[in-house]
Amino acid sequence: MTDSKTGYASRPPHPLAEPPESFPYAPSREDPTLAAIAKTHDLWIDGEWRKPRRGRFPTLNPATGEELSRIALAGPADVDRAVRAARRALPAWADLPGVERARRLFAVARILQERSREFAVLETLDNGKPIRESRDVDVPLAAAHFFYYAGWADKLEYALPGGRKPEPRGVCGQIIPWNFPLLMAAWKLAPALACGNTVVLKPAETSSLSALRLVEVLEQAGIPKGVVNVVTGPGEVGAALVRHEGLDKLAFTGSTEVGKTIQAALAGRPVSLTLELGGKGAHIIFEDAPLSQAVEGIVQGIFFNQGQVCCAGSRLFVQEGILDEVMDRLRSRLATLRLGDPLDKNTDLGAIHSLPQWEKIRSYLEIGKEEGAELWQAPAEIPSRGWWCPPSLFSNVTPSMRIAREEIFGPVLAILGFRTPEEALAKANDSLYGLSAGIWTDKGSKIFEMARGLRAGVVWANCYNRFDPASPFGGYKESGFGREGGLHGLLPYLRT
Ligand code: NAP
Ligand code: MG
């Protein structure tokens, strides 16, 4: 057929190019019941809620220990269904003009912004993090990721050398941890969808609610059925996903230990893999640093999200001339932090995410004392229910101690001294991990020198824990490989 206006052969409209019925999405009312949580949740497969065949398990509010809802336990047959649904949805989604995928991803971002209050409350209830963080960091950054990758969806040929025709990888398994449930889902989904892939997402057992709510947003934004599927349950559900023959790509964020088992399980299979694993970030404070700001940076670096952050600045290196002063300032600052109800907007430290995580942190507090380090904890009234840990500092730490080498994933800072930049660099790099580092100094040349020498995927200068969807994030060594964010985060989702 020829277009009567242009004279060119006209293509029939793509079936998915029609605007979805709900578009443009009408802004939601300020309705507190929107944050209401269903008593039970099913599996999201092929655009439908499917009853699990293996029953359900509870998800808890870490601040009270109370049950919030019952989450579906997916079996291998459910995982298989989800992967097949993703395979069926692939051709139409991949063939959709990039501008149409972009339009839908922009809609996801806008709806997330409109529903930000609801998502912030939900995330705080399920995870235990302070509402100030979920409201000001997690949800806005999740929306920002969808905005950013929506912008790439119709420009993919510029992502590849020589303007080659971009092709998606195919069906992606994505496994995420509990510390930033919504944000990690956004980091994974946005680039995958922008490139035309389809996904089976496996959230962490203890924090599935925001991913299950996010599928409502995807549906509202017109993401077709089967493009994103969510299978919930414990690690064995992730393992079943990894084993599935129908995957083209696997993206994992979680512990180094599980990352290694996944790498071994995929050895020899044609599945492309990216791993975002653990860390033991080095935070380096020089004598010429602006001290008041540096102390705020240290606090932000280790107590953000109760220290349950892969890139947390959990090893603090302070130049010896200011070590005592930094310790004094830190102690008095920490005494002002408020620990308690995560839904209170004045709360600085919320709950530890789960009982096992709390036990792990407590065991490291014991290990540190047995190793001979000196523990100081900020005075805090510990609520009678839920799991909590006050801000904790270890001084008299030596580089060989376990508290200086192993990831604690809690509000626990190991403090060490150094004399020269060379010594700081050597100590900072003496780690199995290589995810993040921070430098505080007044001198630009020192920043460049240190940043060049640090074996860390992210290096912050005179700030810490700042994120932007345009800048790549990821690790060296046992912190994994592959990058998320920016152009680097797009490439793993394209056949190159
Ligand atoms: P995890 O135990 O490794 O779990 C991560 C995810 O993998 C969860 O969904 C988990 O399910 C699943 N899983 C567990 N065993 C599995 C298996 N054998 N096969 C496939 N999937 C499996 O880590 P986590 O304790 O949840 O999270 C904390 C870790 O994540 C820390 O080490 C942290 O540094 C890392 N992290 C890294 C980044 C990064 O970008 N580099 C970001 C955030 C967190 P269940 O939860 O249901 O067991
Ligand atoms: Mg929970």
Provide the number of structural domains found in the chain.
Answer: 2
Q: Is the pLDDT higher at 32 or at 397?
A: 397
Residue 23: the pLDDT is 39
DSSP state of 493: G
275, two tokens: 């791993």
Residue 339: the pLDDT is 98
Global pTM value: 0.93
Are 412 and 308 part of one and the same domain? yes
Q: Tell me, using a 6 A CB cutoff, whether residue 71 lines ligand 1.
A: no
Residue 496: the pLDDT is 80
96, two tokens: 């959709």
Model pLDDT for residues 87-117, shown as the tens digit of each residue = 999 999 999 999 999 999 999 999 999 999 9
- Whole-number Å distance between alpha carbons of 256 and 243: 18
- Whole-number Å distance between alpha carbons of 93 and 229: 14
User: Is 401 among the domain residues?
Assistant: yes
Q: How does residue 9 score in pLDDT terms, banded at 50, 70 and 90?
A: low
Residue 21 confidence (pLDDT) above 60: no
Q: What percent of the chain has pLDDT over 90?
A: 91
- Whole-number Å distance between alpha carbons of 419 and 449: 16
Q: How does residue 29 score in pLDDT terms, banded at 50, 70 and 90?
A: very low
Are 90 and 131 part of one and the same domain? yes
Per DSSP, what are the bridge partners of residue 126? Answer: none
CATH of residue 433: 3.40.309.10
Q: Tell me, using a 6 A CB cutoff, whether residue 472 lines ligand 1.
A: no
How remote is the CA of residue 194 from the centroid of ligand 2, in Å? 29
Per the annotation, the verdict on 287 as an active-site residue is no
How remote is the CA of residue 311 from the centroid of ligand 2, in Å? 22
Are 235 and 314 part of one and the same domain? no
Are 165 and 219 part of one and the same domain? yes
Q: Calculate mean pLDDT across residues 39-58.
A: 96
User: Is 14 among the domain residues?
Assistant: no
Q: Tell me, using a 6 A CB cutoff, whether residue 221 lines ligand 1.
A: no
**The one catalytic residue among 100, 205, 276, 478:** 276
- Whole-number Å distance between alpha carbons of 86 and 423: 51
Q: What percent of the chain has pLDDT over 70?
A: 93
Per the annotation, the verdict on 449 as an active-site residue is no
Which of the residue ranges 143-152, 155-164, 419-428 would you say has the lowest mean pLDDT? Answer: 155-164
Q: Tell me, using a 6 A CB cutoff, whether residue 258 lines ligand 1.
A: yes
Model pLDDT for residues 252-281, shown as the tens digit of each residue = 999 999 999 999 999 999 999 999 999 999
Are 248 and 355 part of one and the same domain? no
Residue 12: the pLDDT is 54
User: Is 255 among the domain residues?
Assistant: yes
DSSP-derived pairing of the beta strands 374-377 and 392-395: antiparallel
CB 172, CB 251: distance < 8 Å: yes
Are 91 and 44 part of one and the same domain? yes
CATH of residue 144: 3.40.605.10
Are 233 and 306 part of one and the same domain? no
Domain, as residue range, for 489? 40-277+480-495
Q: Calculate mean pLDDT across residues 173-177.
A: 98
CA distances from 59 to 128, 205, 448 (A): 12, 8, 45
Q: Calculate mean pLDDT across residues 70-78.
A: 97
Model pLDDT for residues 452-470, shown as the tens digit of each residue = 999 999 999 999 999 999 9
Residue 333: the pLDDT is 98
Residue 26: the pLDDT is 38
User: Is 9 among the domain residues?
Assistant: no
Q: Calculate mean pLDDT across residues 286-302.
A: 98
Are 459 and 486 part of one and the same domain? no
Are 350 and 257 part of one and the same domain? no
CB 103, CB 16: distance < 8 Å: no
Q: Tell me, using a 6 A CB cutoff, whether residue 177 lines ligand 1.
A: yes
Residue 165 confidence (pLDDT) above 60: yes
How remote is the CA of residue 207 from the centroid of ligand 2, in Å? 5
How remote is the CA of residue 208 from the centroid of ligand 2, in Å? 7
- Whole-number Å distance between alpha carbons of 342 and 134: 10
Residue 14 half-sphere exposure, CB side, CA atoms within 13 Å?
Answer: 16
CB 68, CB 59: distance < 8 Å: yes
Are 346 and 272 part of one and the same domain? no
Are 338 and 376 part of one and the same domain? yes
Nearest one of 288, 260, 292, 272 to 432, comparing CA atoms: 260
Q: How does residue 36 score in pLDDT terms, banded at 50, 70 and 90?
A: confident
Residue 27: the pLDDT is 36
User: Is 400 among the domain residues?
Assistant: yes
User: Is 380 among the domain residues?
Assistant: yes
User: Is 16 among the domain residues?
Assistant: no
Mean pLDDT of the chain: 93
Are 195 and 305 part of one and the same domain? no
User: Is 33 among the domain residues?
Assistant: no
User: Is the bond into 24 cis (omega within 30 degrees of 0)?
Assistant: yes
Q: Which residues contact 392 (CB under 8 A, 6 or more apart)?
A: 365, 375, 376, 377, 378, 410, 411, 412, 413
Model pLDDT for residues 346-377, shown as the tens digit of each residue = 999 999 999 999 999 999 999 999 999 999 99
DSSP-derived pairing of the beta strands 433-434 and 48-50: unpaired
62, two tokens: 């870490």
DSSP state of 206: T
